[in-house]
């Protein structure tokens, strides 16, 4: 657990202690087998639901845990340190429930969020398309009015949880002439005719947190629309600000595990009659890793603090801090895990130890929720505005 947790409420610290023990005992032991088999993390999500993690991002009014954004950062990092696949599916669920929380009216929130918080309904966030990843304004999926509902037609890709979700938040163009102001969002429930999952993508890492292609040719009632027409882009951007902090937390959690593994290996691995840890070259590697990690933690917690301030009405937009945290943490975690594998030497390259899995799991962190290059664009845009 990070030193930053001293700022948390007593109940939040207790929750994180319970979560840490639970993840060590129930989630981490399954991580290697999950990676090896590629089985979706149904059991892990069900177990996390039992201790309140499926609704950790939601307020108590909608069945959630009601914890602060800094506490949520630490909770996500804790799960990530135990299993990257599990945390990827969990945070994808958060993107969906955040979409409903931010964009929907109370009637739709009441229909979706309590079940999602309890783990009875898994969510997916369907924004990305084959030709619209970094810029949602290039979206081709269309939603057109038919009677008292909407016909949604198009294709989505790289949708985490997409083929197993009980509900999806689908973003679609309702007014092609309005650019990003013509995007709306809709809840599509499992079993809706015309919702067709494609194949599960065979990914390099996070192999138990599946992503799907989705073909859409379906009808939804107008009651499933999130907020006014044209508000979808604004909702998606607010959700992604949250999600980028959660990606930073995921990167921090896996980086903590990598650093701890490297430190323990360096202290116990005897080469030439002495532990690796006695060699200055190894000591400097560990020092750089620890410094990178500390900086990533600080930036992540600052972004989470700003997120909480907006929620409390004492602060404003936190998109720049979220992008900075996501950019730095994802890049730093990649360096940390790579250095940890190097310290393990040839053993780190085998599946007998967790480092090669951590390296693979971390690689996507520099791509999704907006690549590192997109984060630099966002940061520069805010800086120069």
Set 74, 302, 331, 369: catalytic member: 369
- Alpha helix segments (H runs only) across 218-354: 232-268, 280-312, 319-344
Angle formed by the axes of helices 232-268 and 355-363, nearest 10°: 160
Q: Which two tokens stand for residue 193?
A: 């005719």
Half-sphere exposure for 291 (CA within 13 Å, toward CB): 6
DSSP state of 273: T
Half-sphere exposure for 112 (CA within 13 Å, toward CB): 34
> SS3 of 361, please?
helix
Smallest Cα–Cα separation from 124: which of 245, 247, 211?
A: 211
Q: Which residues contact 139 (CB under 8 A, 6 or more apart)?
A: 129, 132, 154, 171, 172, 173, 183
CA distances from 257 to 73, 83, 200, 293, 359 (A): 16, 10, 28, 11, 11
Q: Which residues contact 250 (CB under 8 A, 6 or more apart)?
A: 76, 77, 80, 84, 87, 88, 91, 365
Q: Which residues contact 291 (CB under 8 A, 6 or more apart)?
A: none
Q: Is there a catalytic annotation at residue 369?
A: yes
- Distance between CA atoms of 246 and 90, rounded to whole angstroms? 10
Q: Which residues contact 25 (CB under 8 A, 6 or more apart)?
A: none
- What are φ and ψ of residue 63, in 5° steps? 90, 5
Provide the annotated active-site residues: 369
């Amino acid at each position: 657990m990070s030193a930053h947790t001293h700022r948390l409420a007593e109940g939040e610290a207790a929750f994180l202690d319970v979560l840490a023990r639970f993840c060590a005992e129930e989630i981490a032991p399954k991580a290697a087998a999950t990676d090896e088999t590629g089985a979706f993390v149904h059991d892990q999500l069900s177990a996390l639901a039992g201790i309140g993690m499926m609704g950790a991002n939601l307020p108590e009014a909608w069945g959630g845990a009601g914890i602060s954004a800094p506490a949520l950062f630490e909770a996500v990092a804790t799960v990530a340190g135990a299993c990257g696949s599990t945390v990827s599916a969990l945070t994808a669920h958060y993107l969906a429930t955040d979409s409903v929380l931010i964009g929907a009216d109370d009637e739709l929130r009441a229909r979706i969020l309590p079940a999602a918080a309890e783990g009875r309904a898994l969510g997916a966030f369907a924004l990305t398309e084959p030709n619209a990843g970094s810029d949602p304004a290039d979206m081709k999926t269309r939603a057109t009015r038919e009677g008292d509902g909407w016909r949604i037609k198009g294709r989505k890709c790289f949708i985490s949880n997409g083929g197993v979700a009980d509900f999806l938040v689908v973003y679609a163009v309702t007014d092609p002439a309005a650019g990003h102001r013509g995007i709306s969002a809709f809840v599509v429930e499992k079993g809706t005719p015309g919702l067709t999952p494609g194949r599960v993508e065979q990914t390099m890492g996070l192999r138990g947190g599946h992503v799907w292609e989705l073909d859409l040719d379906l009808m939804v009632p107008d009651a499933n629309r999130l907020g006014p027409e044209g508000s979808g882009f604004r909702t998606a951007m607010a959700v992604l600000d949250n999600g980028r902090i959660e990606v930073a937390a995921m990167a921090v959690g896996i980086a903590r595990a990598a650093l701890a593994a490297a430190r323990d290996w360096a202290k116990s691995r005897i080469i030439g009659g002495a532990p690796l840890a006695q060699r200055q070259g190894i000591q400097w590697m560990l020092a750089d890793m620890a410094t990178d990690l500390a900086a990533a933690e600080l930036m992540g917690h600052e972004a989470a603090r700003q997120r909480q301030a907006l929620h409390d009405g004492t602060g404003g937009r936190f998109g720049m801090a979220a992008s900075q945290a996501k950019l730095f943490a994802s890049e730093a975690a990649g360096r940390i895990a790579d250095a940890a594998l190097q310290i393990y030497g040839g053993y780190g390259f085998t599946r007998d130890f967790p480092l090669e899995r951590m390296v693979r799991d971390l690689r996507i962190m520099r791509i999704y929720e907006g690549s590192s290059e997109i984060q630099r664009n966002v940061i520069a845009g805010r800086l120069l505005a």
